[in-house]
A and B are shown apart, each in its own frame.
Chain A
Amino acid sequence: QQPVQSPQAVILREGEDAVINCSSSKALYSVHWYRQKHGEAPVFLMILLKGGEQKGHEKISASFNEKKQQSSLYLTASQLSYSGTYFCGTERETSGSRLTFGEGTQLTVNP
């Protein structure tokens, strides 16, 4: 079942923060986050495992709440290069590494 992402779109000014959420109605093993620029393939950002861990590098971080089956991606002090569509891909223990992607969140960072 496809995870639900919110918001569908967000427009920021450079330097502002954003949060993108990804929710599933099924028990998840892991959540993967990707960013895709127009006409290009998705680029891996990070994986989060069940257990409520939080990961991050520089100004992009994410968390995974196992109880809620929800993951959030945090973008702080956004840069123009952050623009793109963000997808979460969810993996269940029985899915054999197959990812089910959400509809995506289109992020636009303006100067």
Chain B
Amino acid sequence: GAVVSQHPSRVICKSGTSVKIECRSLDFQATTMFWYRQFPKQSLMLMATSNEGSKATYEQGVEKDKFLINHASLTLSTLTVTSAHPEDSSFYICSAISGPATGVNTEAFFGQGTRLTVV
């Protein structure tokens, strides 16, 4: 299957600082990428849909100014957690699909996830 690489896998940062997480599709062009957040023993909650060359679409309740998403190329999307606080500590996972998000069933390939700890 296709490969999605997420970096870093773990990051610890001080409260108030910003953290950038990268999500790369290594062997296919990802027109659409998705960013999820997962708390321990809970489900994956979709935060936003990232489309190459356009603004991300955020889910209800997700602060767009706090979670900045940039999808500058067909192989890279970044999530920046700005002014991070301890409550932002979580497991962040990206996924990518190889075609446009047209509602056609398309397998989503997940990155390895990023464990963010804000101290």
Q: Give the B-binding residues of A (Cβ under 8 A).
A: 2, 29-30, 32, 34, 39-44, 47, 49, 87, 89, 91-104
Contact = CB atoms under 8 A, between A and B. Distances in A.
B67 to A, nearest CB: 16
Interface in B7-60: 32, 34, 42-46, 49
B59 to A, nearest CB: 9
12 contacts: A32-B105, A40-B113, A41-B6, A47-B105, A87-B43, A89-B44, A91-B103, A92-B103, A93-B103, A96-B49, A97-B108, A98-B101
Contacts, number: 70
A102 B43 contact: yes
B74 to A, nearest CB: 16
A107 B45 CA distance: 21
A38 B68 CA distance: 27
Nearest to A2: B43
Given A30-B105, A47-B107, A99-B34, 15 more contacts: A34-B110, A39-B115, A40-B112, A41-B93, A41-B112, A44-B1, A44-B108, A44-B110, A87-B43, A93-B103, A94-B103, A96-B49, A98-B101, A100-B46, A102-B43
Interface size on B, as a range, is 20 to 34
Contacts of B44: 42, 87, 89, 101
Interface of B: 1, 6, 32, 34, 42-46, 49, 93, 97, 101-113, 115
